Amino acid sequence: MPEISFVLPHWMYWSGLIVFPLLAMIFYRRKVSEETSKPVSLVLAYFLLITGGFIGVHRLYLKSLWSLVFIALFSSVLFVNVEVRGARDTLSEAHNDIKLAEFKIQRAERDIQKNRRGAEERLTQAKKKLTDAKAALVIEEENTDRWNSTASTLGGALLLLILIDAFLLPKLVKQRNLIEQAPPDSGFHCPVVEAEHDDTREPFTFNRVIAHVNGLAGEFVAYWSVIAVFVYYYEVIARYVFNSPTIWAHEGMFLMFGMQYLIAGGIVLREGGHVRVDVLYNYLPKRGKAIVDIFTSVFFFIFMLTLLVTGWTFFYDSFEVSEVSFTEWAIQYWPIKLSLSLGAALLLFQGIAQLIKDIAIAIKPSVAELDTEVRPEG
């Protein structure tokens, strides 16, 4: 198989982190608003063809036995590529043997000119090794060409099947939908889950605004996990099918998940998902919990303010010097350090909203009734 040397441009990395979640949020809301849906989606079928067509994922989605053909071809490609790598290594050794034999011939000829003992015998042996090495090189070249030809044939057949399915997919999806007539789908509804994410049930306007903002931020960065699926899929195909590992996949996803961890902190606090010591806390009444939260929030705000100021300092310094990573990809660092301050701000405002609610509950415990079914205990 041919090698690929694609390096993800920096602008594409950053724009992808922004544009893809926005499009996913729009498409999801549009899909939820639809009153009916078909058992098999053409958009999803093409999505699976693009991302998993090599192994026939789109055919599995259509419940077609032709998926076995794709799996067999892809398995064959992987096997042949292992042989190609082995043949290339052996071919490289054959070239090295020729260079070594030529070097020994040159050295033996110099020794003959200097009338050194045994030089003629060494020359004869070196020439014999050169002849054997050239013969081995011819064999290894033929072997390498044979495996490369096999890999190209299998890859071409796989690509041809994918292109054929790209044209046939609308018809195949239509046929599958006729077979699987499903009742109208009114969408997913779960009262418990919907209540947990109902921002309008927050007791104060400020709390509702902050809860909504953190909800959007959490949803936005959640779609980054989907990007990771695409990137690691590409990395696996590039590494094991085309023998071309990337220099950007691991670093890009490592940094992305770090930013996701920071920005999602606000919604995790909103949902009560952060780790806490609650051995005694869970036994307290609502008002008691609110009072404890008021006192312990002092440590929270100290940490958040420190993270906010320090993160902004890191971002400003990084932006001023146009800091990049020390790897060959050299991605910009200032957007990543900006996420420190952004995540701290989201956490800080959510903490303020929680503090306002705790004070209200401590003064008037009946306020807690609005929040009883919205947030998990602890």
The CATH number of residue 108's host domain is: 1.20.120
* Shared-domain flag, residues 349 and 232: yes
Q: Indicate the pLDDT class of residue 333, thresholds 50, 70 and 90.
A: very high
Tell me, yes or no, whether 301 lies in a domain.
Answer: yes
Q: Is the pLDDT of residue 13 over 90?
A: yes
pLDDT number for residue 374: 42
| Residue appearing with tokens 């779609």 | 223
Say whether both 226 and 80 belong to one domain.
Answer: no
Examine residue 257 and state whether it is found in any structural domain, yes or no: yes
Provide mean pLDDT across the span 21-40: 75
Q: Are residues 84 and 198 in the same domain?
A: no
The domain of 87 spans 38-179
49-58, 244-253, 333-342, 345-354: range with lowest mean pLDDT: 49-58
In a domain, 242, yes or no: yes
Which of 139, 129, 135, 141 lies closest to 99 in space, CA to CA?
A: 129
Residue 29 included in any domain = no
pLDDT band per the 50, 70, 90 thresholds, residue 182: low
pLDDT in tens, 80-105: 888 888 888 888 888 898 888 888 88
What would the two tokens of residue 235 be? 């990395």
Confidence of residue 280 (pLDDT cuts 50, 70, 90): confident
Asked whether 40 and 176 are in contact (CB, 8 A), the reply is yes
**Does residue 97 fall inside a structural domain?**
yes
164 and 280, same domain (yes or no): no
Task: Answer for the pair 370, 309: CB distance below 8 angstroms, yes or no.
Answer: no
- CA–CA separation, 16 and 223 (whole Å): 11
Q: Does 195 share its domain with 174?
A: no
Number of domains in the chain: 2
Confidence grade of residue 253 (pLDDT, cut at 50, 70, 90): very high
Cβ 362 vs Cβ 287: under 8 Å: yes
Rounded to the nearest integer, the mean pLDDT of the chain is 83
User: Based on the domain organization, do 274 and 339 belong to the same domain?
Assistant: yes
214 in the same domain as 124 = no
